[in-house]
């Protein structure tokens, strides 16, 4: 990983994928669906925020586990910065989601499960930052926050995937539901969408690793 | 290990019995919350609350009583007793005993809350057995999450506010599930319609207990 | 034995929760692409104005990339400096 974060190939890949996503996302044929109309293209820019958040937070948890089994400042820094960028993705997901929801559902906050889920996720990681802030000792801070990180992630993620199902059952009838959640993506949309997910996630990891490296340099110079 | 858990559990009960003021304080807190809700919501005619509001307020009462009840499990332990635990018992036995004890405490509190709440604000639930099982499952889940958060907060300077901040977002999904399930109990839907929520609540309980089991020793190390 | 219990609990929990993931959805088919009943920005596209939007977004992406690359290079420079300093010591 230490080598990988200084390699260029995946960063170039990220930019190339994003170029493809911007062009294809705006130019390719999309299904003509009621209410959504052209805004279906938002799919390629908004939904990957959600996936990016989950992936970055997952990386944060992986480093939290590493930090518990093998405590080191480096693992803690990785864990913290992945969480940081993950939260940024979550905030962007919420904002873009509200804009889209305002158009399709008629109100910015319409109890959509994924909106609620990212809001809860963000609350948890804000609590995580506050927890970190309230502990003085570096070693204790790293260990306690790693425990919270793992606990929070493991207890929430399954629920976040279940909540959509439980909430959808409140609005019966897929035909009457104009939200995108009711549609199964076809191969044409999937091609661009998955590229977007990979591209956005790579961008997120890129920013996170830059922050990690800055902190590592800071950590070394402080000693 | 189980002998140790049993011993610690009985010790918690004895302590609670000796210091009745703590439990009485919790009771008073719950009852006064319910009374405040009753006084502030009192509608002109005696029709009572709409069902969904009854449901939501009930869970909010449970939530805040739970935070108060469980907060003391680690936050209010004296440093001397913490040291005693640290030397003499295995961390896993400690967290298991605390989780079991807090779950029971929660169930007792919930039962009392239901009785008082039902007396002053009405009791719209039709399927009481379903309601009871949801409350029991949710109590276990809520108290296992809160026990861990109380342990974390006690390591971060014994801060009750911190504990609330840490646990509230984690409890939202459990609350949403419970509210949904209790809505079914109020509307007298079949068990088959509620099985999803009940299974998920049971799953959360399992995950919460397992995580406490695995993660608590790391917390306890310092 | 020590961890079997917790692992068993955890997997049961995960299994129970994942068993509920399946969800019914509406399939998108060729019809959704071909229908003319839903209004889309066809005129806008026909006039080629969509390329303006694409150009703007590509430019933004370019600017963003430039900025991040600069930052990456700066950090690389800092890392080298620290490395040299440590070796010099």
Q: Both tokens of residue B138?
A: 């949710």
Q: Which residues contact A64 (CB under 8 A, 6 or more apart)?
A: A75, A79, A145, A146, A147, A149, A150
Residues 161-200 of B with CB under 8 A from A: 162, 165-166, 168-170, 172-174, 176-177, 180, 196-197, 200
Q: Using pLDDT thresholds of 50, 70 and 90, give the confidence band for residue A160.
A: low
Q: Both tokens of residue B97?
A: 């005993």
Q: Which residue has the tokens 């109990």?
A: B185
Say what the pLDDT of residue A177 is.
Answer: 42
Nearest to A97 by CA among A47, A54, A134: A47
Report the gap between the CA of A176 and the closest CA in chain B (Å): 22
Angle between helix B20-41 and B2-18 (nearest 10): 70
Distance CA B57, CA B175 (A): 11
In terms of Cβ atoms closer than 10 Å to its own Cβ (0-12, 13-18, 19+), residue A144 is: buried
Q: What does DSSP assign to residue B78?
A: -
Nearest to B181 by CA among B163, B213, B150, B204: B204
B31 vs B86, residue with greater confidence: B31
pLDDT per residue over B124-167, tens digit each?
888 889 999 999 999 999 999 999 999 888 888 767 888 888 99
Poorest-confidence range of B65-69, B159-163, C2-6, C16-20? C16-20
In terms of Cβ atoms closer than 10 Å to its own Cβ (0-12, 13-18, 19+), residue B75 is: middle
Q: Residues of chain A whose C-beta is under 8 A from some C-beta in C? A: 6, 11, 15, 18-19, 22-23, 26-27, 29-34, 37-38, 154, 158-159, 161-162, 164-165, 168, 174-175, 182-186, 188-189, 203, 206-207, 210, 213-214, 216-217, 220-221
A181 vs B213, residue with greater confidence: B213
Distance CA C19, CA A22 (A): 36
Looking at every residue in chain B, the average pLDDT score rounds to 86
Instruction: Please report, for residues B130, B144, C14, C19, the alpha-carbon distance to residue B195 in angstroms, rounded to integers and kept in the order given.
Output: 10, 22, 16, 12
- CA-nearest residue to A165 within chain B is B196
Report the gap between the CA of B79 and the closest CA in chain C (Å): 28
pLDDT per residue over C35-79, tens digit each?
777 778 777 888 888 888 899 999 999 999 999 999 999 999 999
Helix (H) or strand (E) holding A40: none
Distance CA B178, CA C15 (A): 20
Residues of chain B positioned with their CB less than 8 A from the CB of C5: 213
Q: What does DSSP assign to residue A184?
A: E
Distance CA A172, CA A150 (A): 35
Residue A206 pLDDT exceeds 70: yes
Report the gap between the CA of C2 and the closest CA in chain A (Å): 17
Instruction: List all chains that touch chain A, counting a touch as 3 or more CB pairs closer than 8 Å.
Output: B, C
pLDDT per residue over C49-60, tens digit each?
888 889 999 999
* DSSP characters over B116-130: HHHHHH----S-HHH
Helix (H) or strand (E) holding C27: strand C26-27
Residue A17 pLDDT exceeds 90: yes
Q: What does DSSP assign to residue C26?
A: E
Residue A181 pLDDT exceeds 70: no
Beta pairing partners, C26: A183
Looking at every residue in chain A, the average pLDDT score rounds to 83
Provide the residue range defining the domain that includes B81.
Answer: 2-220
Distance CA A33, CA A48 (A): 21
- CA-nearest residue to B196 within chain A is A166
Instruction: Please report, for residues A36, A60, A178, C11, the alpha-carbon distance to residue A33 in angstroms, rounded to integers and kept in the order given.
Output: 6, 38, 9, 40
Query: Model ipTM?
Result: 0.85
Question: In chain B, pLDDT over 90 holds for what percent of residues?
Answer: 28
Say what the pLDDT of residue A173 is.
Answer: 35
Find which of A45, A192, A213 to mutate to test the C interface (most C CBs within 10 Å of its CB): A213
Report the gap between the CA of B66 and the closest CA in chain A (Å): 18
Residue A175 pLDDT exceeds 60: no
What's the average model confidence in pLDDT over A114-133? 85
Q: Using pLDDT thresholds of 50, 70 and 90, give the confidence band for residue B83.
A: confident
Say what the pLDDT of residue B2 is.
Answer: 80
Nearest to A155 by CA among C60, B167, B190: B167
Structural contact between residues B147 and B99, judged by C-beta atoms closer than 8 angstroms: yes
Residue A121 pLDDT exceeds 90: no
Three-state SS at A80: helix
Q: Are A32 and C38 a contacting pair at CB < 8 A? A: yes
Q: What share of chain A is helix, strand, coil (3-state, %, to 5)?
A: 80, 0, 20
Report the gap between the CA of B42 and the closest CA in chain C (Å): 40
Q: Does B146 touch chain A (CB under 8 A)?
A: no
Say what the pLDDT of residue C2 is.
Answer: 55
Q: Both tokens of residue C73?
A: 């290079």
Q: Which residues contact B150 (CB under 8 A, 6 or more apart)?
A: B70, B71, B72, B73, B74, B75, B163
Helix (H) or strand (E) holding A183: strand A183-184
Give the domain ranges of chain A. 4-222
Distance CA C81, CA A80 (A): 24
Q: Which of B173, B203, B208 faces A163 most closely, judged by CB atoms?
A: B173
Q: Which residues contact B185 (CB under 8 A, 6 or more apart)?
A: B125, B126, B127, B128, B130, B131, B134, B194
* Sign of the dihedral through C-alpha A199, A205, A208, A209: negative
Domain count for chain B: 1
Q: Are C13 and B207 a contacting pair at CB < 8 A? A: yes
């Amino acid at each position: 990983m230490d080598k990988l974060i200084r390699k260029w190939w995946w960063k170039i890949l990220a930019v190339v994928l994003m170029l493809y996503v911007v062009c294809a996302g705006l130019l390719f044929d999309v299904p003509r669906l009621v209410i959504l109309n052209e805004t279906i293209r938002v799919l390629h820019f908004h939904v990957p925020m959600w996936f990016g958040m989950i992936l970055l937070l997952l990386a944060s948890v992986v480093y939290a586990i590493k930090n518990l089994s093998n405590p080191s400042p480096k693992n803690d820094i990785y864990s913290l910065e992945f969480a940081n960028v993950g939260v940024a993705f979550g905030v962007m997901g919420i904002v873009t989601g509200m804009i889209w929801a305002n158009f399709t559902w008629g109100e910015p906050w319409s109890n959509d499960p994924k909106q609620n889920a990212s809001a809860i996720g963000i609350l948890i990681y804000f609590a995580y930052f506050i927890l970190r802030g309230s502990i003085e000792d570096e070693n204790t801070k790293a260990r306690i926050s790693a425990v919270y990180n793992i606990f929070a992630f493991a207890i929430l993620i399954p629920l976040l995937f279940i909540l959509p199902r439980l909430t959808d059952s409140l609005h019966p009838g897929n035909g009457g539901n104009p939200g995108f959640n009711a549609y199964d993506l076809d191969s044409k949309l999937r091609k661009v969408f998955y590229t977007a997910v990979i591209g956005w996630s790579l961008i997120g990891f890129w920013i996170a690793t830059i922050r990690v490296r800055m902190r590592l340099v800071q950590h070394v110079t402080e000693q | 290990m189980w002998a140790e858990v049993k011993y610690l559990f009985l010790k918690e009960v004895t302590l609670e019995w000796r210091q009745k003021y703590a439990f009485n304080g919790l009771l008073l807190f719950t009852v006064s919350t319910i009374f405040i809700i009753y006084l502030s919501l009192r509608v002109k005619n005696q029709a009572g609350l709409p069902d969904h509001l009854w449901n939501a307020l009930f869970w909010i009462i449970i939530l805040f009583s739970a935070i108060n009840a469980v907060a003391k499990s680690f936050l209010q332990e004296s440093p001397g007793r913490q040291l005693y635990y640290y030397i003499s018992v295995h961390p896993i036995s400690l967290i298991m005993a605390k989780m079991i004890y807090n779950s029971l405490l929660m169930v007792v509190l919930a039962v009392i809350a239901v009785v008082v709440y039902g007396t002053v604000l009405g009791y719209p639930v039709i399927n009481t057995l379903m309601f009871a099982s949801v409350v029991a499952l949710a109590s276990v889940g809520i108290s296992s999450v809160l026990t861990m958060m109380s342990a974390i907060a006690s390591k971060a300077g014994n801060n009750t506010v911190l504990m609330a901040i840490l646990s509230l977002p984690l409890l939202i999904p459990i609350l949403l599930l419970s509210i949904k399930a209790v809505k079914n109990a109020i509307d007298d839907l079949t068990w088959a319609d509620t099985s999803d929520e009940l299974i998920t609540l049971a799953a959360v309980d399992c995950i919460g207990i397992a995580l406490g089991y695995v993660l608590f020793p790391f917390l306890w190390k310092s | 034995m020590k961890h079997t219990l917790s692992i068993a609990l955890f997997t049961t929990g995960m299994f129970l929760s994942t068993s509920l993931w399946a969800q019914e959805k509406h399939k998108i088919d060729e019809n959704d692409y071909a229908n003319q009943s839903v209004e889309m920005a066809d005129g806008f596209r026909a006039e080629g104005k969509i390329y303006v939007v694409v150009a703007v977004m590509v430019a933004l992406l370019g600017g963003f990339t430039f900025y991040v690359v600069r930052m990456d290079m700066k950090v690389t420079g800092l890392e080298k400096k620290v490395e040299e300093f440590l070796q010099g010591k």
